[in-house]
């Protein structure tokens, strides 16, 4: 349990119902290692690990797991603006990432006083997936690829973190509505494999992969699968599914795992799904499959994911807390985890000056009418949001309201 997040949650009316759940610690800039992260987060990495040791001692014999997101690659968030960071490739960012970020984190995690903890690291959300789909459209991604900075940065992180016996590494693998098409999926599997084989321990430097980090895709769509036919038409033909091979995160996680193992990763590979905000409960949640014989109507009336478009990613209106953190929920899955701390914004809904390198991404603006990445749809974002990582009370209230399973 992260005391920083827990305090924010329990300060909210009704928040004590979830405030004791495990959420990840985000190391989202160099300063976060020593002094805590943005907004109301105050604790540094040592504070968190010391607290984990304390909680471990108070909680009996089961090993305690702490989850830490490693998130400061140079040119971070290269296809968007809301989570741009402090390091730039052109300004010696990769060398600084290694020396001032990864080395310091690894040095702390290797401290023998933390050796009884299980330290789970979530490595660089969105980074390698951006190399698959966004190099042509975004100069910052192009630079991340041509310089080798993303791959080398992730390899460096894996080398340092995997070398610590009680640190477990999970590399970010985006989500089904990013990588679920053949022309993204296969290159991603190849890049993961090529990247891993370039680390000291090779494919063994990775314990698993995580999907849906900070996203809103449903874990399981209960009312249809990718094989569902509607009046002779596959749901793949619907506008919503749009020829994707997956309709939800659990099927995607298992499909990706199978492909990675076939490619040469060990069969011990375990998948995580970030379920912090993909519950989609509340009054808008469909309770049964649609009876429509029109494939678009069928999918739109049946899907629990109520987003306007599956490419929408910022502070999604109508979302709810998802499955609570759960170990080994299904074959091939190590856990459902809460990585994005619910209540922390994905980005500001209008421009807000800040000293964190965060930009204003119009995908966080509720009046934005979209671009090719979300099919030119409305952004679906909530209004009144602060910059990414900062506490967003109204969003937290809605997430609790629409939790699924519901909160008691
Ligand atoms: C932000 C980080 C923050 C994280 C968790 C990201 O979108 O860029 O600053 O720590 O979300 O809320």
Report the pLDDT value the prediction gives residue 59, as an integer from 0 to 100: 86
> Would 82 be classed as within a structural domain?
yes
Atom of ligand 1 nearest to the CA of 24: 5
pLDDT digit string, tens, across residues 34-83: 976 555 578 999 999 999 999 999 988 888 999 999 999 999 999 999 99
389 lines ligand 1 (CB under 6 A): yes
> Would 81 be classed as within a structural domain?
yes
pLDDT digit string, tens, across residues 199-241: 999 999 999 999 999 999 999 999 999 999 999 999 999 999 9
84 lines ligand 1 (CB under 6 A): no
Is residue 103 predicted with pLDDT exceeding 60?
A: yes
To the question of pTM greater than 0.95 for the whole model, the response is: yes
Question: What is the C-alpha to C-alpha distance for residues 366 and 173, in angstroms, rounded to an integer?
Answer: 27
**Count: domains in the chain:** 1
- Expressed in angstroms and rounded, the spacing between residue 346 Cα and the centre of ligand 1 is 7
- Expressed in angstroms and rounded, the spacing between residue 388 Cα and the centre of ligand 1 is 5
How many CB atoms sit inside 10 A of residue 201's CB? 13
Contacts of 69 (CB under 8 A, 6+ apart): 24, 25, 26, 27, 28, 121, 122, 125, 213, 339
Question: What is the C-alpha to C-alpha distance for residues 190 and 202, in angstroms, rounded to an integer?
Answer: 14
Per-residue DSSP letter, 177:
H
pLDDT digit string, tens, across residues 192-210: 999 999 999 999 999 999 9
**Residue located nearest, by CA, to atom 4 of ligand 1:** 389
- Mutation choice for ligand 1 from 77, 389, 391, CB with most ligand atoms inside 8 A: 389
Q: Is 389 left (phi over 0), alpha (psi -120 to 50) or beta?
A: left
Whose CA is closest to 247, among 292, 298, 203, 210? 298
The active-site residue, picked from 4, 56, 72, 126, is: 126
> Would 335 be classed as within a structural domain?
yes
CB 179 within 8 A of CB 213: no
- Mutation choice for ligand 1 from 9, 24, 38, CB with most ligand atoms inside 8 A: 38
- Which tokens hold the place of 2? 């992260």
Phi, psi for residue 174 in degrees, rounded to 5:
55, -130
- Mutation choice for ligand 1 from 4, 5, 28, CB with most ligand atoms inside 8 A: 28
> Would 406 be classed as within a structural domain?
no
> Would 317 be classed as within a structural domain?
yes
Lowest-confidence range among 31-40, 161-170, 334-343? 31-40
Report the pLDDT value the prediction gives residue 61, as an integer from 0 to 100: 80
Examine the residue annotation and report whether 126 is marked as an active-site residue of this protein. yes
- Which tokens hold the place of 65? 């797991």
> Would 333 be classed as within a structural domain?
yes
Please count the CA atoms within 13 angstroms of the CA of 114 that sit on its side-chain side: 24
> Would 407 be classed as within a structural domain?
no
* Mean pLDDT, the chain, integer: 96
> For position 32, which CATH number holds?
3.20.20.40
**Residue located nearest, by CA, to atom 10 of ligand 1:** 389
Residue tagged 């053949």 (tokens): 182
Atom of ligand 1 nearest to the CA of 341: 12
- Expressed in angstroms and rounded, the spacing between residue 292 Cα and the centre of ligand 1 is 40
Question: What is the C-alpha to C-alpha distance for residues 189 and 399, in angstroms, rounded to an integer?
Answer: 33
Q: Which range of residues forms the domain containing residue 97?
A: 3-401
> Would 48 be classed as within a structural domain?
yes
Whose CA is closest to 272, among 404, 127, 175? 175
Question: What is the C-alpha to C-alpha distance for residues 131 and 122, in angstroms, rounded to an integer?
Answer: 18
With a pLDDT cut of 70, the percent of the chain lying above it is: 99
Lowest-confidence range among 33-42, 44-53, 272-281, 332-341? 33-42
Inter-CA distances, 353 with 356, 359, 387, 391, 393, Å: 9, 8, 9, 16, 20
Question: What is the C-alpha to C-alpha distance for residues 156 and 278, in angstroms, rounded to an integer?
Answer: 32
Can you give the length of the chain in residues? 408
């Amino acid at each position: 349990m992260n005391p920083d997040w827990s305090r924010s949650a329990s300060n909210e009316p009704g928040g004590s119902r979830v405030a004791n759940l495990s959420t990840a610690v985000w190391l989202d800039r160099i300063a976060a290692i020593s002094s805590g992260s943005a907004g109301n987060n105050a604790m540094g990495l040592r504070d968190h690990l010391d607290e984990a040791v304390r909680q471990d001692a108070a909680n009996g014999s089961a090993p305690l797991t702490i989850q830490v997101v490693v998130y400061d690659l140079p040119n971070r968030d290269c296809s968007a603006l809301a989570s741009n960071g402090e390091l730039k490739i052109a300004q010696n960012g990769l060398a600084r990432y290694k020396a001032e970020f990864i080395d310091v984190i690894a040095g702390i995690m290797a401290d023998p006083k933390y050796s009884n903890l299980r330290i789970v690291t979530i490595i660089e959300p969105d980074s390698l997936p951006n190399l698959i789909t966004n190099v042509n459209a975004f100069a910052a991604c192009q630079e991340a690829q041509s310089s080798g900075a993303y791959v080398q940065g992730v390899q460096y992180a894996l080398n340092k973190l995997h070398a610590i016996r009680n640190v477990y590494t999970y590399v970010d693998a985006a989500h089904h509505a990013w990588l679920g098409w053949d022309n993204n999926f296969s290159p991603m599997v190849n890049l993961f494999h090529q990247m891993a084989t370039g680390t000291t321990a090779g494919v063994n430097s990775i314990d698993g992969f995580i999907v849906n980090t900070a996203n809103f895709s449903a874990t399981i769509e209960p009312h249809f699968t990718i094989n569902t036919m509607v009046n002779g038409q596959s749901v793949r033909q619907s506008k919503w599914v749009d020829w994707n091979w997956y309709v939800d995160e659990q099927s995607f996680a298992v499909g990706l795992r199978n492909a990675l193992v076939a490619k040469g990763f060990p069969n011990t590979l375990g998948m995580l799904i970030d379920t912090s905000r993909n519950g989609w409960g509340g009054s808008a949640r469909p309770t049964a499959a649609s009876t429509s014989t029109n494939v678009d109507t069928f999918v739109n009336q049946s899907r629990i994911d109520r987003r306007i478009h599956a490419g929408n990613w910022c502070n999604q209106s109508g979302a709810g807390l998802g499955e609570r953190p759960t170990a080994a929920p299904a074959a091939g899955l190590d856990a459902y985890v809460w990585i994005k701390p619910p209540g922390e914004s994905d980005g500001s809904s209008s421009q807000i000056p800040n000293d964190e390198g965060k930009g204003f991404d119009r995908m966080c603006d509720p009046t934005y009418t979209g671009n090719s990445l979300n099919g030119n749809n409305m952004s679906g974002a909530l209004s009144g949001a602060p910059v990414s990582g900062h506490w967003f009370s109204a969003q937290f209230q809605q997430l609790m309201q629409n939790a699924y399973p519901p909160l008691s």
